[in-house]
Chains A and B, each alone.
Chain A
Amino acid sequence: MRAPQPVRRVLVAAAAGVACFASAAEDIDWGPYEVDGRRSGYTYAAAETRAIQDDDFENGGLLWVEKGAELWETAHGADGASCQGCHGDAAESMRGVGARYPVYAAEREKLINLEQRINQCRTERMGAEAWRWESEPLLAMTTYLRHQSRGMAVSPVIDGPAAPFFEQGKAFYTKRRGQLDLACIHCHEMNSGNMLRAQRLSQGMSNGFPTYRLKWQGVGSLHRRIRGCNEDVRAETYAPGSDEYVNVELYLAWRARGLPVETPAVRN
């Protein structure tokens, strides 16, 4: 007996979903993109999307890297200082920085992430104004700096003075919120690999940020992405750069420990 047309479509779609998941989970050796079951968003992306990331001439995020390299050499602010004037060659001085941020900053008695460290340098040492969150220069500089650690294992420090902030980040991640009453874990731990309509849910790893999103047609920050998820569950958001988002950024870095920095990754 033939099932009615709509029912058959559902069955085919369900079967296809199961097949895709099975092949992704069992057959493919993801190399550095999978560490002890922790999988980069790269492994959940479509083959065409991965191909764009793999080719620096196709990867639109490299434009932000180039812009960041220009800004690195440019004098800013009242003191006429450039990043390069103090830090020299970023390929040497900044290598590894992006792999361990965010870090505990004693002078602030809380965490500081890469964007905030850049602005701290600008306002406290260069006599320049802070760049606005999600502005092109801040995105470009953050992408450029994190790019200097591309391929290195994400390796945040979560003990010592960072420990309470890590715990707050973890609490954020597991807390149901919004009208839809969902926590990060519901999609990214309990349902990674499953489909949310046409979108495959990943483990929500942060190792590719700032990321070039095809949906955005540009590079965006991790905090923009987290905020988007909060909006999707109809929750009151926090501001990018808020303590709440920086704390969860550290927890996300710990979840992604051992995975390679991919900045700038390419995702849907």
Chain B
Amino acid sequence: MASTRRKRLLTTLRGHAGAVAALGILVLLTAGSGRVAAADYVVRDYAIPEPLTATPGDPQRGAAIVVDRARGNCLSCHAVPVDADFFGTTGPTLAAVGARLNAAQLRLRLVDPKVINPMTMMPAYFKTEGLYRVAPEYAGKPILSAQEIEDVVAFLLTLK
């Protein structure tokens, strides 16, 4: 299936002028905090082929995000081949996930996994729309920034 979907996240622009990337695929508008406030990406064949940022993902930073309870908190639900005492069992193991899925597939599974499975428990890590009663301190903010998504993708790809 060659479904192409454009997804636009423009919730917290507040009139802030941004830089428009080439090809019109990726638009990154940064707020004063440096956090990516909005982005445009293309879903194709249940994947997001293009990276969300111009800076390549860093697997070491990604590993730190994965175990950080305040950011990825991935160990809450997944077994991950890292050194830790406890792993959640509500999600599948991420051992060898980099052999099963490519970067584009992993990117969509982080950005908005409900595109693939509307019933999933997995949060959308890069989504600010279509959510209900988000606590004020998190309103309009994705769980991870675009660069953090790329870092986590880079780390997951090392799990072969």
Contact = CB atoms under 8 A, between A and B. Distances in A.
Contact of B89 (A9, A14, A180, A235): A14
Contacts of A4: 81
Nearest to A201: B90
Interface string B124-144: 100100011111101001010
A9 B135 contact: no
Interface in A7-21: 7, 9-10, 13-14, 17-18
A191 interface: yes
Interface in B42-85: 75-77, 79-85
Contacts of A236: 133-136
B133 A14 contact: no
Given A197-B86, A198-B85, A198-B86, A176 B77 contact: no
B95 interface: yes
A218 to B, nearest CB: 24
B12 interface: no
A141 B135 CA distance: 32
B79 A14 contact: yes
A89 to B, nearest CB: 44
Interface in A205-236: 231, 234-236
A231 B134 CA distance: 10
Interface in A165-209: 175-182, 186-187, 190-191, 194-198, 201
B93 A14 contact: yes
B79 A234 contact: no
B121 A190 contact: yes
Given A194-B89, A196-B88, A235-B135, A7 B75 contact: no
B78 to A, nearest CB: 9
A201 B124 CA distance: 21
Contacts of A14: 79, 87, 89, 93
Contacts of A194: 88-90
B85 to A, nearest CB: 7
A175 B133 CA distance: 10
- Indicate the member of B77, B89, B93, B143 with the most A CB atoms within 10 Å: B89
Contacts of B86: 13, 195, 197-198
A83 B18 CA distance: 66
B89 A17 contact: yes
A243 to B, nearest CB: 15
B95 A10 contact: yes
8 contacts: A18-B89, A178-B131, A181-B114, A191-B90, A197-B86, A201-B90, A236-B134, A236-B135
- 6 nearest interchain CB pairs? A198-B86, A179-B138, A236-B133, A10-B79, A195-B89, A186-B121
